[in-house]
Amino acid sequence: MRQALRPREQRLLDYLTAFLHENGFQPSIREMGEALGLKSTRTVYAVLGRLEGKGWIERDRSRSRAVRLLTRAASWEDVAPEREPGPVFDPPEPADTQWMMRALEQAIAAGAAEEVPVGAVLVREGRLIAESHNRTRTTGDPTAHAEMVALRRAAERIGEARLEGATLYVTLEPCAMCAGAIVLAKVSRLVYAATDPKTGMCGSLGCIVQDRRLNHRTRTTRGVLADSAGALLRGFFQDRRSRPPARP
* Interaction site with Zn ion (CB under 5 A): 145, 175, 177-178
Catalytic site includes residue 147: yes
Residue with Cβ nearer Zn ion (86 or 142)? 142
- Residue 145: CB minimum distance to Zn ion, A: 4
CA separation (Å) from 43 to 24, 29, 223? 24, 10, 51
CA separation (Å) from 182 to 24, 129, 216, 235? 32, 15, 9, 28
- The SS3 of residue 136 is helix
Residue with Cβ nearer Zn ion (178 or 190)? 178
Phi first, then psi: give them for residue 226, nearest 5 degrees.
-60, -35
| Residue 202 DSSP code | B
Residue with Cβ nearer Zn ion (72 or 145)? 145
- Residue 147: CB minimum distance to Zn ion, A: 6
Instruction: Name the catalytic one among 9, 115, 147, 173.
Output: 147
Calpha distance 180→184 (Å, rounded): 6
- Residue 241: CB minimum distance to Zn ion, A: 22
Which residues are catalytic, by number?
Answer: 147
